[in-house]
């Protein structure tokens, strides 16, 4: 089987042919390079119009044999560019007289890694220009386990380089300048498996304006941003119990990001795979490869239904080409637990939590995070108890070794004992701590302990918590819990409703309204 792929969501006019029998991918691309500033949608569309016919022709000239289907990027991306891709693909399918396959560009970024690695059900980190998210397959969909709360990771970096006056794209320039840089402290924002770049981008621009050497800013940007992405990836591995990670997206070409992910996986005994650069940056090869899987599953489009969608989210795609039994693994654990942050050991009635150094992080950043989170965790665990939320008693704390000793609570993680009554309780607990002026920061189904007998639910792991009176922060706390239900429960909808019920019974209705807002936000900016 041979599938022709067409890509052109933003900057890369590309065509490819995937020969499934030979597992060979032929790619021809032509990049749009803005003369100044970032990507202008109209100029980018003009580039697609001019360049797509030529790359298609170059591919077809090298193909020896019939084409069985034409696959194209349906979204997400820039509307004017996508429409040209759509028109090109429809015309090709018509002239070749073959079916049309509409591919989600973000799912293609992840599937190419799965395809090339041979991993069965990995967690995927997509680190591209306009996006940044963690995906895991569950129950017929790619679930968004975590994502950026503002801009995509590449766009964030590109905004800094525009500020400095460097041409687009900025990522490779930041990587080159970082080589001679030294560490300066910058904002580091992770909320469960979500993360945000707006604070660090303003800080980077300000540091540059105030005379910090640009090499130091570039170095520190990479150290912070990529450590954030690595931490959330590790949290996703820990939460799902998966031991496979694949990387996708243009920022994945960065050697420092790959090095960090590789080191993290090695430290926890997981397998890591990053496809070669031609499959990381935007390319039609990944569109053709996923197109072939979809075509084999009869997942084709009638021309009348083949409109493009600039906001096409990866979790909207019915995954027709994978089996029902391929869900991302959820392994039962025994013995010491290796969370995203700490190693937790159990001894009779107490639990020792050690934040061991993470070799992937810069030593200074590592020391700060381990110390601050240890102090904060001990404080907030006790504050929550005083507010009336069941949490373990803090028996001892040693800030130097970032170690806390807790009372052992519960008999299982909520993940392994989900019920509507229990998640309703969690909703109430979150409302109670928000009322007391702080957030948990990482409320997942593994950071709640449950007990069989009295059905109490305890909150643990307050290390990412902080004091705040912003409705947005409270809503994000709920959103993190909501996403963890989606990621770990078989039938999450009833549970999600129960959390809201619990929250409503105790907390502020404005937070639930804001939660709807948070969920409705398209983050492709
Ligand atoms: C929707 C689609 O149009 C979009 N595509 C996209 O963002 O192009 P992609 O090729 O995946 O990524 C481009 C980004 O990747 C960054 N980049 C390229 N090389 C880099 C490097 N060595 N280090 C860091 N960033 C790099 C660029 O600065 C740019 O922001 C997407 O996938 O989000
Ligand atoms: N006090 C406690 N009593 C019983 N079990 C606990 C207690 N504290 C932690 N655990 C168990 O250990 C696991 C890991 O602990 P914790 O979440 O604090 O570590 P972590 O490294 O911060 O995890 P992550 O950052 O991945 O959420 C929890 O999911 C829970 O199963
Ligand atoms: Fe992309």
Residue ranges at the known binding site for L-threonylcarbamoyladenylate: 126-130, 158, 171, 175, 254
The total of other beta-carbon atoms located within 10 Å of residue 505's CB is 11
The pLDDT of 306-313, averaged and rounded, is 96
Interval between CA 364 and ligand 2 midpoint (Å): 25
How big is the chain, counted in residues? 525
Supply the residue whose CA is at minimum distance from atom 14 of ligand 1. 129
Joined together, the tokens standing for residue 61 give: 């000239």
Interval between CA 233 and ligand 2 midpoint (Å): 17
> What pLDDT does 487 receive?
78
Domain 2-112+279-316, CATH among 3.40.30.10, 3.30.420.40, 3.90.105.10, 3.20.20.140: 3.30.420.40
Is this prediction's ipTM beyond 0.90? yes
- Per CATH, 2-112+279-316 and 412-520 having the same topology is answered no
Mutation choice for ligand 2 from 233, 267, 339, CB with most ligand atoms inside 8 A = 339
CB 129 less than 6 A from any atom of ligand 1: yes
Q: CB neighbours of 95 closer than 8 A, spacing ≥ 6?
A: none
Low-confidence winner among 42-51, 292-301, 388-397, 408-417 (lowest mean pLDDT): 408-417
d(CA 239, CA 285): 31
The pLDDT of 231-250, averaged and rounded, is 93
Q: CB neighbours of 90 closer than 8 A, spacing ≥ 6?
A: 100, 303, 306
CB 347 within 8 A of CB 365: no
Supply the residue whose CA is at minimum distance from atom 1 of ligand 1. 77
The pLDDT of 203-219, averaged and rounded, is 98
The pLDDT of 474-497, averaged and rounded, is 91
Joined together, the tokens standing for residue 147 give: 């994502």
CB 158 less than 6 A from any atom of ligand 1: yes
Q: Is the pLDDT of residue 294 over 90?
A: yes
d(CA 360, CA 405): 26
User: Which residue is it, tokens 């019974």?
Assistant: 505
What is the bridge-based pairing of β-strands 337-338 and 343-347? antiparallel
What is the bridge-based pairing of β-strands 141-147 and 132-138? antiparallel
Which position among 299, 327, 442, 473 bears the catalytic label? 442
Q: Which of 96, 99, 95, 73 is nearest to 86 (CA)?
A: 73
> What pLDDT does 11 receive?
96
Q: 3-state DSSP call for residue 136?
A: strand
Q: CB neighbours of 173 closer than 8 A, spacing ≥ 6?
A: 161, 166, 218
> What one-character-per-residue DSSP string does 329-342 give?
P-----SSEE-SS-
Interval between CA 296 and ligand 1 midpoint (Å): 29
Longest dimension (CA), the chain: 73
The pLDDT of 276-296, averaged and rounded, is 98
Interval between CA 242 and ligand 2 midpoint (Å): 17
> What pLDDT does 324 receive?
80
Q: Is the pLDDT of residue 265 over 50?
A: yes
CB 358 within 8 A of CB 226: no
What's the mean per-residue pLDDT of the chain?
94
Q: Radius of gyration over alpha carbons of the chain, in Å?
A: 24
Name the most confidently modeled range: 29-38, 125-134, 141-150.
Answer: 125-134
d(CA 284, CA 455): 53
CB 370 less than 6 A from any atom of ligand 2: no
Homologous superfamily of 412-520 = Transferase(Phosphotransferase) domain 1 (1.10.510.10)
Q: What does the CA dihedral 492, 494, 498, 499 come to, rounded to 10 degrees?
A: 20
CB 443 within 8 A of CB 437: no
**59, 106, 144, 317, 328 from 324: Cα distances, Å:** 35, 21, 18, 15, 11
d(CA 4, CA 485): 38
Joined together, the tokens standing for residue 204 give: 């980077």
Joined together, the tokens standing for residue 208 give: 């540059």
CB 365 within 8 A of CB 184: no
Q: Which helix (H) or strand (E) holds 29?
A: strand 24-31
Q: Strand pairing partners for 73?
A: 103
Q: Strand pairing partners for 135?
A: 124, 144
Interval between CA 314 and ligand 3 midpoint (Å): 12
Ligand nearest to the CA of 130: 1
Domain ranges of the chain: 2-112+279-316, 118-277, 337-407, 412-520
The residue ranking higher by pLDDT, 254 or 490, is 254
Banded model confidence at residue 224, pLDDT cuts 50, 70, 90 = very high
Burial class (CB in 10 A: 0-12, 13-18, 19+), 19: middle
d(CA 160, CA 155): 9
**11, 179, 233, 361 from 367: Cα distances, Å:** 40, 22, 20, 9
Low-confidence winner among 19-23, 161-165, 327-331 (lowest mean pLDDT): 327-331
d(CA 107, CA 109): 5
Residue 234 alpha carbon, nearest atom of ligand 2: 26
CB 458 less than 6 A from any atom of ligand 2: no
Joined together, the tokens standing for residue 167 give: 């041409």
The pLDDT of 315-328, averaged and rounded, is 90
CB 314 less than 6 A from any atom of ligand 1: no
CB 523 less than 6 A from any atom of ligand 1: no
Report domain 118-277's class.
Answer: alpha beta
CB 441 less than 6 A from any atom of ligand 2: no
> What pLDDT does 525 receive?
30
How many percent of the chain have pLDDT more than 90?
88
Q: Is the pLDDT of residue 379 over 90?
A: yes
CB atoms within 5 A of ion ligand 3 belong to 128, 282
Q: Is the pLDDT of residue 157 over 50?
A: yes
Residue ranges at the known binding site for Fe cation: 105, 109, 282
The pLDDT of 222-232, averaged and rounded, is 98
> What pLDDT does 339 receive?
83
The pLDDT of 168-172, averaged and rounded, is 96
Q: Which of 107, 48, 38 is nearest to 80 (CA)?
A: 48
Low-confidence winner among 262-276, 334-348, 394-408 (lowest mean pLDDT): 334-348
CB 169 less than 6 A from any atom of ligand 1: yes
Banded model confidence at residue 370, pLDDT cuts 50, 70, 90 = very high
d(CA 424, CA 504): 10
Residue 152 alpha carbon, nearest atom of ligand 1: 33
**Known catalytic residue: 442?**
yes
Residue 408 alpha carbon, nearest atom of ligand 2: 3
Residue ranges at the known binding site for ATP: 336-344, 353
Q: Is the pLDDT of residue 330 over 80?
A: no
Supply the residue whose CA is at minimum distance from atom 31 of ligand 2. 413
d(CA 77, CA 258): 25
Helix 492-506 × helix 471-488 angle, to 10°: 150
The pLDDT of 518-522, averaged and rounded, is 75
Interval between CA 511 and ligand 2 midpoint (Å): 27
Ligand nearest to the CA of 373: 2
d(CA 239, CA 339): 8
Q: Tell me the pLDDT tens digit for each residue of 71-118.
A: 999 999 999 999 999 999 999 999 999 999 999 999 999 999 999 999
Report domain 337-407's class.
Answer: alpha beta
d(CA 425, CA 307): 44
Q: Tell me the pLDDT tens digit for each residue of 451-465.
A: 976 679 999 999 999
> What pLDDT does 465 receive?
97
CB 268 less than 6 A from any atom of ligand 2: no
Q: Is the pLDDT of residue 131 over 60?
A: yes
d(CA 255, CA 439): 35
CA 73 to chain CA centroid, Å, is 20
CB 191 less than 6 A from any atom of ligand 2: no
Banded model confidence at residue 323, pLDDT cuts 50, 70, 90 = confident
The pLDDT of 495-509, averaged and rounded, is 96
Phi and psi at residue 12, to the nearest 5°: -110, 105
Joined together, the tokens standing for residue 91 give: 């015309």
Phi and psi at residue 187, to the nearest 5°: -65, 145
d(CA 483, CA 444): 8
């Amino acid at each position: 089987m041979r599938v022709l792929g067409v890509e052109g969501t933003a900057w890369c006019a590309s065509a490819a042919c995937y020969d499934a029998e030979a597992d060979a991918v032929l790619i021809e691309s032509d990049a749009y390079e803005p003369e100044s500033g970032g990507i202008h949608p109209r100029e980018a569309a003009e580039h697609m119009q001019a360049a797509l016919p030529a790359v298609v022709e170059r591919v077809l000239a090298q193909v020896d044999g019939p084409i069985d289907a034409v696959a194209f990027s349906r979204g997400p991306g820039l509307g004017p560019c996508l429409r040209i891709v759509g028109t090109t693909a429809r015309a090709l399918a018509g002239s070749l007289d073959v079916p049309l396959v509409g591919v989600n560009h973000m799912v293609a970024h992840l599937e190419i890694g799965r395809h090339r690695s041979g991993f069965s059900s990995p967690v995927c980190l997509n680190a591209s220009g306009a996006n940044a998210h963690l995906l895991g397959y569950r129950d017929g969909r790619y679930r968004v386990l975590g994502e950026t709360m503002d801009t995509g990771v590449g766009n964030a970096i590109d905004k800094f380089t525009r500020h400095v006056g460097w041409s687009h794209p900025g990522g490779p320039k930041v990587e080159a300048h970082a080589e001679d840089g030294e560490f300066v402290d910058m904002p580091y924002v992770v909320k469960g498996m979500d993360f945000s770049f707006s604070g660090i981008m303003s800080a980077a621009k300000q540091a540059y304006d105030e005379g910090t050497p640009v090499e130091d800013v570039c170095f520190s940007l990479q150290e912070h941003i990529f450590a954030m992405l690595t931490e959330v990836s590790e949290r996703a591995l820990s939460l799902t119990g998966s031991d496979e990670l694949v990387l996708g997206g243009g920022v994945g070409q960065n050697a420092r990001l790959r090095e960090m992910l590789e080191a993290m996986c090695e430290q926890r005994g997981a397998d890591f795979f990053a496809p070669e650069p031609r499959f990381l940056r935007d390319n039609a090869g990944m569109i053709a490869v996923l197109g072939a899987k979809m075509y084999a599953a009869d997942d084709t489009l009638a021309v009348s239904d083949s409109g493009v969608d600039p906001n096409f989210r990866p979790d909207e795609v019915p995954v027709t080409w994978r089996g029902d039994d391929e869900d991302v693994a959820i392994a039962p654990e025994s013995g010491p637990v290796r969370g995203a942050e700490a190693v937790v050991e159990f001894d009779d009635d107490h639990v020792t939590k050690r934040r061991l150094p993470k070799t992937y992080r810069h030593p200074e950043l590592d020391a700060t995070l381990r110390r601050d989170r240890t102090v904060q965790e001990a404080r907030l665990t006790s504050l929550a108890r005083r507010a009336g939320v069941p949490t373990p008693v803090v028996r001892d704390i040693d800030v130097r070794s970032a170690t806390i000793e807790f009372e052992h609570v519960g008999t299982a993680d909520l993940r392994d004992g989900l019920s509507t009554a229990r998640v309703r309780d969690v909703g109430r607990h979150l409302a109670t701590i928000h009322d007391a002026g702080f957030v948990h920061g990482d409320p997942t189904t593994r950071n709640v302990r449950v007990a069989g007998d009295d059905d109490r639910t305890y909150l643990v792991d307050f290390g990412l918590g902080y004091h705040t009176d912003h409705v947005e922060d409270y809503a994000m706390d709920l959103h993190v819990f909501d996403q963890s239900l989606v990621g770990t429960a078989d039938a999450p909808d009833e549970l999600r409703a129960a959390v809201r019920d619990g929250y409503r019974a105790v907390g502020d209705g404005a937070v639930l309204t804001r939660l709807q807002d948070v969920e409705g936000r398209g983050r492709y900016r």
